[in-house]
A and B are shown apart, each in its own frame.
Chain A
């Protein structure tokens, strides 16, 4: 048994070594997880991250950057990640995090995501979709159609077409960063092609969406975004 374990350790130890100096990334990843002390190191890193002081983001700081900025929360993340506008193509603005995870928004509607788990390729929606053009809550249409595309076995990927209904909810005082905003809760209920989901939006009187929980696909589920500084052509 000792010989067997020794042989296995030897194999693991030298496995993936190459003349270029690197190791096989798969072997490296496995080794980093199972090597002695790896668990302790991971716990210490977690504790260190938790103890790190939280940088307080304020609207003044946001404005000072001169950039369009959104904040996104996925899964159990409560702090969120800031994404900065990096590309503008027609009405589509792509925001990127420091790690270059990206989200593309058409107005306030998330139309693409990259590198946050399961990519959403694109979204097409009707021209009167109030998520793409700021629309006061009382003027939101009854329904629109949207086409969501995800990765699949053709250039077009997997298409999911849904019909979405809008429902006006109560007014809500939304605390966001260091301010509070008067908003109205709007609900979008979509279904079609075997899926159903409900998005929630906090909308100002002029139609500007400040906070939103939106569906990013059957695998990714929901993401929450705060539009801290919307993109404008100014």
Chain B
């Protein structure tokens, strides 16, 4: 090692974040509830934005799983799937699926504490429903104290005063119960010990655990709880607790953050360097007179670009303009594919070509056209501010169905028939107290492409292992059994998941259409048609979908049962452009004939992480709906390239959705229009445009 390296090494070690050194207090930790807090009591702390965790929790009175998500920098959300022991009688448990929210109102300052307001079992007057206001203050780097005031369950022990009368627990939606009834104080302390990664906790609980003591043998001997948390690296933490003076509890949490990928994200092959054309470059376009030359140029480009995961579907070149319709099969962010393509074009096409018109395709449909002037590219590349400048100088528009006019080169499919085999691991976290059920399936998919717009699709699965649905009981639902007979569909297989003819097209640059016919999903077959109006430069769109379906036989092969339904929806899609939030409202008639609406909200990070939540309210009464009162669910999508050191557009999705509910049930159609095109509008491209020069 040279002396130089020895000199530089200590310098490198001195590099760091000033803000990290100046940070006050210590990292927040989970409580026994699987959300950020002390033990059973909450605090006012927040995790880093986007932090996502799955916790297994258990104590003497309940157990299950909790998905915790830092929804926004000042909003924490927890979806809890809990089994409450001995709730309705000795040995009779109660499955409680709740959404908890906590909002930080005031950030911690030098003297002032952080203040938050929170809701457990938000909007629902269920067994765990409670509201609270809480303040937390870090004292030095190793001690945090918390004090708060709770209502509902958190106001049930030693109440200090009352604010009106709280309605009895009845599992209904509403606001009347919020901050009503007895209110009680709680508090606690957390100490980051000198032992690395170990935090000790103690709290005074304002929860009297009245429901738990009604039927079972559980007794609350003390309002004081004690706990310890130990972190195994950045992503796993363990909690152990002694609660109520009588019971032990535990928690195991696994965490991840979209902003903190497991691997370095920019490894591999960099983009092609770009040299500007000389000032006296040839403007001669005579080379473009020959159709043969033009077609050959596009064909050669298409072949070369395919090596980089960019599939040219259509192309046309003239003396000054190059137009390409492309499928990006490699890069997780579309601007990265466009930027790399533009660089390659700038280095490989005749200098007379002044404009690159690149259209992104998705699911076989052209979506957004970007017009990039070559001179702009040359003036921006490698310079500071190239990102904003390039976005400003690119013209965006909705793409027509095909490159208009004559002389278009169209890619011939390598083969009209394609197939694939892949494993599928469905996860169901409902029905077993959050401990989860897994299946391992092998899926065989085949596709015959009659034309670019018309395909025949077949998907067959064979179950290898698993238990999903085994614990399901025969349905007693008073409304048509459109989903509640799920257990009867859970045979060993093979199962025809899908056998459809699918046609999709664009009627105008902003109007998309799709029609699918056949065995649309595991339980229903029929005809499903959809229209979507979504200009590329607009952050919202409208859609309508109409389907006539019949229920399939339980063996999911080729037969049908008697039940048939007309179902359809009008949908509004809105990409808010604020904190990656997207909203969707679907209003219409569901499979069981019930009328209502589904409200969906998702946060989709630019690197592909997405957390989605939905709730469906229909004219099916809560009593007829059964457990949970109404349909709701959460799903989490994690892109593979967050965990792997190369570009990939693959992802895995875990759903926490209702299982076997008839009310609010929709067709599971895999090729709906909006999900397949939404990543290509200008709002999305703006958010990911930082990758254009990568």
Assess whether B644 is interfacial by the CB under 8 Å rule: yes
Assess whether B7 is interfacial by the CB under 8 Å rule: yes
In the complex, what residues of B have CB within 8 A of residue A149's CB? 384-385, 387
Stretch at the interface among A38-46, A52-60, A62-70, A115-123: A115-123
Instruction: Give residues 192-206 of A contacting B (CB, 8 Å).
Output: 194-200, 202
Flag if A155 contacts B384 (CB, 8 Å): no
Flag if B18 contacts A118 (CB, 8 Å): no
Whether A115 touches B273, Cβ cut-off 8 Å, given contacts A18-B420, A224-B8, is: no
Which of B269, B418, B606 has most chain A Cβ within 10 Å? B269
In the complex, what residues of B have CB within 8 A of residue A175's CB? 2, 4
Flag if B442 contacts A114 (CB, 8 Å): no
B357-397 vs A, CB cutoff 8 Å, 1 = contact: the mask equals 00000000000000000000010011111111011100000
Instruction: Give residues 1-21 of B contacting A (CB, 8 Å).
Output: 1-2, 4-5, 7-8, 11-12, 14-19
Flag if B422 contacts A26 (CB, 8 Å): no
Flag if B18 contacts A196 (CB, 8 Å): yes
Flag if B423 contacts A152 (CB, 8 Å): no
Provide the bound-state CA to CA distance between A148 and B73, in Å: 24
Assess whether A24 is interfacial by the CB under 8 Å rule: yes
A80-101 vs B, CB cutoff 8 Å, 1 = contact: the mask equals 0000001111101010100111
A180 to chain B, nearest CB (A): 11
A167-207 vs B, CB cutoff 8 Å, 1 = contact: the mask equals 00000001100000000010000010011111110100000
| Residue in contact with B387 in the complex, picked from A14, A18, A121, A185, CB distance below 8 Å | A121
A-B contact count (CB 8 A): 196
Q: Indicate the size class of the contact surface on chain B.
A: 35 or more
| Residue in contact with A156 in the complex, picked from B12, B265, B420, B690, CB distance below 8 Å | B690
Assess whether A51 is interfacial by the CB under 8 Å rule: no
B576-607 vs A, CB cutoff 8 Å, 1 = contact: the mask equals 00001000000000000000000000000010
In the complex, what residues of A have CB within 8 A of residue B5's CB? 78, 224
| Residue in contact with A191 in the complex, picked from B2, B7, B18, B270, CB distance below 8 Å | B18
| Residue in contact with B268 in the complex, picked from A115, A122, A194, A222, CB distance below 8 Å | A115
Provide the bound-state CA to CA distance between A211 and B11, in Å: 14
Q: Specify the main secondary structure of chain B where it touches its partner.
A: mixed
In the complex, what residues of A have CB within 8 A of residue B609's CB? none
Flag if A155 contacts B387 (CB, 8 Å): yes
Assess whether B554 is interfacial by the CB under 8 Å rule: no
Whether A111 touches B382, Cβ cut-off 8 Å, given contacts A11-B464, A78-B1, A154-B690, is: yes
Whether A104 touches B387, Cβ cut-off 8 Å, given contacts A14-B421, A96-B270, A116-B266, is: no
Assess whether B274 is interfacial by the CB under 8 Å rule: yes
Flag if B266 contacts A94 (CB, 8 Å): no
Provide the bound-state CA to CA distance between A200 and B414, in Å: 55
Assess whether A147 is interfacial by the CB under 8 Å rule: yes
In the complex, what residues of A have CB within 8 A of residue B421's CB? 14-18
Whether A87 touches B382, Cβ cut-off 8 Å, given contacts A11-B440, A152-B690, A154-B690, is: yes
In the complex, what residues of A have CB within 8 A of residue B688's CB? 153
Flag if B383 contacts A114 (CB, 8 Å): no
Assess whether B419 is interfacial by the CB under 8 Å rule: yes
Instruction: Give residues 643-661 of B contacting A (CB, 8 Å).
Output: 644, 646, 648, 650
Provide the bound-state CA to CA distance between A157 and B687, in Å: 9
Provide the bound-state CA to CA distance between A115 and B18, in Å: 27
Assess whether B622 is interfacial by the CB under 8 Å rule: no
| Residue in contact with A151 in the complex, picked from B268, B440, B691, CB distance below 8 Å | B691
In the complex, what residues of B have CB within 8 A of residue A114's CB? 266, 270-271, 694
A106 to chain B, nearest CB (A): 9
Assess whether B563 is interfacial by the CB under 8 Å rule: no
Assess whether A112 is interfacial by the CB under 8 Å rule: yes
Provide the bound-state CA to CA distance between A172 and B477, in Å: 85
Assess whether B640 is interfacial by the CB under 8 Å rule: yes
Flag if A116 contacts B267 (CB, 8 Å): yes
Assess whether B415 is interfacial by the CB under 8 Å rule: yes
| Residue in contact with A157 in the complex, picked from B4, B640, B690, CB distance below 8 Å | B690
Flag if B690 contacts A155 (CB, 8 Å): yes
In the complex, what residues of B have CB within 8 A of residue A87's CB? 273-275, 381-382
Assess whether B430 is interfacial by the CB under 8 Å rule: no
Looking across the interface, which residue of chain B has its beta carbon closest to that of A26? B640
Flag if B271 contacts A122 (CB, 8 Å): no
Looking across the interface, which residue of chain B has its beta carbon closest to that of A78? B1
List 10 additional contacts besides A19-B418, A102-B271, A116-B267; criterion CB under 8 Å. Answer: A10-B464, A14-B421, A14-B442, A111-B382, A114-B266, A114-B270, A115-B266, A121-B386, A151-B690, A196-B18
28 A-B pairs in the complex with CB atoms less than 8 angstroms apart: A10-B464, A12-B423, A17-B420, A29-B644, A29-B646, A78-B1, A87-B381, A94-B273, A114-B694, A116-B266, A116-B267, A117-B264, A121-B387, A121-B694, A149-B385, A149-B387, A155-B388, A155-B392, A155-B692, A185-B7, A195-B18, A196-B16, A197-B14, A197-B15, A199-B11, A202-B4, A215-B15, A218-B17
A-B interface, 8 closest residue pairs, ranked by CB to CB distance from nearest = A114-B270, A87-B273, A124-B384, A115-B270, A155-B391, A155-B689, A194-B19, A92-B382
